[in-house]
Structure 1
Amino acid sequence: MKLSSYIQKSVREGTQVSKFNTLAAALLGAPAHFFFYFTFKYGFHLPYENFTLRLIATLLCLSVLFKDRFPEFINRNFPWFWHAFLIFVLPFIFTVNLVMNNFHELWLYWEIFMLFVLISFVPNWLMFLIDFFIGVAGAILFYFLSVPHVELHPTFNIPLYAIVITFTIVAGIGFSYSNKRGIMALERNNALQALAGGIAHEMRNPLGQIRYNFDAIQQELPFYTPESEFSSIPVSGVERIYQRVAQGQMAVNRGIQVIEMILEEVKDSASSKSTFSFYSISAVTRKALDEYSYESEEERQKVHFQDGADFMFRGAENMFIFVLFNLILNALYFLRSFPGGRIDIRMQPGESLNRLYVRDNGPGVSSENLGKLFDPFFTSGRKGGTGLGLAFCKRVMRSFGGDIICNSVHGEFTEFVLSFPVLAESEIADYEALLYTESRLSLSGKRFLLADDNPEILAMIRRYLHPLGVDIDEAFTGSEVMEMIESERYDLLLVDLNLPVLDAFELAYRIRGSGKHLPVVAYTAEPSYILLGRAEKSGIQGLLSLPIALADFLHLVTASIKENPAILQGSLGGKTLLVVDDSAVNRMIIRNILQKFRLTIVEAVNGQEAMETLENHHCDLMLMDLQMPVLDGLETAKRIRSGQWEYRNIPIIGMSGNSDPETVQQAMLSGMNDYLLKPLDNRLLLKKVVALI
């Protein structure tokens, strides 16, 4: 583990503040300091006692009882207040009394007692030593600044006492660590028991949506008998089928996200910053609101997005969308009993931090629970959830370099504030320059046809395309598009989905029917995922939602050019792909995706069979599952790479349902060239196959 990571881990472990600790500090510390002042000064007649220091310590001990009533700034940073409090009331005051009483025997004993108490409150050895040495250093400084100056004449055996102190610290840390591990094991066991039920609960929602949509599709289909002659399904019925399929696909994706979220939290692993990119907060927020699975139109109408001044953030889109999903899910749950309930989402750019506010006028959060909302496995009122959501949201936002806090007044409102560091203009400019550099290689010199009757959108698209060096023609209706395609050659059609005369669906269908291989990318103000299935069926390569984000635009346009069926069939035609998986369903899915590009598909059910197949067939690429009977994918890859056979250099793409870095690293170390996560993303599968074949 890197030193910086270990220090961060130590700070995290050493700043955990439980309600029991604050209660113990208040009820034991406050009377103890007050009582011992009078006992030592008037009972034992020790030469030094300081009423002011004892009074401050007593008040500090009592103050932690009112933690939930602290100002918002202090409450947000309470762990640091807690450490300052411990440093003052334990090592500082105890060491001051030890030194100022000329190392009196009684205070030598109390110093050892103080060490055990401090260790019990600070369960990390590094944070304990930091707190201890800061307190001792402060006491020594206090001694030198005190007037009159006390002359020190220690009579105790310093080396012998130093041995006792050292052993006390080591033993205390050992006992604290053992106790912490036992408590953690118990908590982990309880948490995992709750997690089993939590997973079942969280997965019921997307699985229920899938079942509902399949039932709805079945209702749209006509009654079947072997003698039936089917009439056409009404247009409205076809549209409903497309919508149900899209919603079912989105439910599957949401279920996968829930699983990923739970695995991330259980493993206590942070999002990898190497995969972070730049996003428009407005565009991603709109996407999240469009894709959220509302239970009714009434529920959808409760969510209001004030699209104000936009800003960019650096992070992971899926993780941020999940954060919003979680906040909306919680708010809607508590708004069920509020007829006038609403959720307001607004953006606020700032000088050092940009913010997104998610506020509801629901029941609010009690002051007792407000400070615990982001604790792992904590739930407040909502039954049946995992309790992982807000803790995971905190981890995601901090991995973005920002944070998430909650402001609430019980009975009035709850407001979550998501903060993002302001990105320098140079960072955004460098990112956009990199995007254009990557896209220019594929797009420079191409000829595009833009089709829209909205001049503002046409101007925006021209602005996006200008740095790429592409030639641009424009059309304003579907009939003009067809005329221009007949007379000119184009590399891409960019079109408004609802173009007059002939919309994008009809245009793509006619272009495909004419035998032309012209990629079509459409855009729409409607939620794109609802229309994506119908768009792909008609021949549209990609669909964008307005407002169009630059990164999404460039990625999709570039991919559509590269994935032009004519180009792909030319590059993949005649190649042979070996699919190795013990699941017949998985092999069928891959075969159906890739066969249309004139690839020859060969199959094997385990690694041993795959190696035998390679002995008898020339293959250009392997797609291989990691977990299989007889011989798994990792061992198969190692044997292929270590042997002297002709196929030892064949490109291998590993496949697995595990996304953790350890599994990916094992795949790479075994000799695989790339890695795919199951269930497979069609576009990503095609991209990786093209790159390696």
Structure 2
Amino acid sequence: MSSLRISLKISILRVRMVTFGLGLSFCKKVMKSFGGSIACSSEFGEWTEFELKFPDCNSTEVIAIKQELMKAKTVLFIGEQLGMLGRQIKNVAFQSDLNLTIKSLAQASELEEHQYEYSLIIIDGDLDANGWSLMSRLESKLGFTEGRIAFVHDEDSTRNLYFQRYVDIELYGMQKFVDDPANAIDYLLFEEFDVEQPAQPYNEISIKRTVMIVDDNHSLRSITSIMLEKQGLHVIQAENGQLALQTLEKEDVDLILMDIEMPIMDGLTATRHIRQSDASYASVPIVGYTGDKSEETVVKINEYGMNDYLVKPTPKDELIDKVATWIY
């Protein structure tokens, strides 16, 4: 007999099978324990028919069972615990004795793959560009968990182009969650996720977007340029910080990939000039493009005004993902 998926919402199910001692009395006790019933009729040597009657999912018995099950569930909320979503989830966890752990997106992105072993992971999807950058790092690790993953977001807002690349994530409306957080968590813990979800807007990479690669290594500039141009981007190259500043005076640039160590003018100095400028390009996103990921270098990257960083050599997917994060 082929396998059957049974939902608590099913009221009556008839199953025909050849039986070899199913332990009917045990099955009857199990069904009765949550307000259901089981009956059996058969024709000797031919077939056996079972009638399983399940209680309504909102019945007292089912609610009691869920409450007991929730005590054994572990939930990781990734977001700010003092934010609206965090406060609501904490309140539901307190009322249901749910085992809740809260991590900021920055903290969660630093966890190892084995540290995501939870029944449910809920992610606050209200993200800025830096948040999407961290989300990209986080998502690449979530493919190792067997837990359910939900992304609570504004359904009208855009998402990163490379979101949901590594793992299936349930998209759950922010307003729907806010209106009834207890029901939302009940759904995310116990119900079958909606496989066919409505199409949502994504950030687009288009030929109208311009990226400037600043690096003294000609080969690296060329390879990086080819990868980005294949995504439909317009790419400008500069071999040092001084040429980058001169280019910014003439070209509209949407993103800069900036090497740290270069002759004539290094990337940190060029970044400081850009940030201190009164020109329109003063706020252009700058991603440090470096082969040095030491703590000292990362601190300098932040101090000088870079928004993010990539470590060379960078795999194609990671490069494109990072660029998609910072281009609007």
Report the TM range for the smaller structure's normalisation. Answer: 0.3 to 0.5
Q: Which has the higher contact order (CA 8 A, sep 6+)?
A: 2
TM-score (norm. length: structure 2): 0.45
Which of structures 1 and 2 has the bigger CA Rg? 1
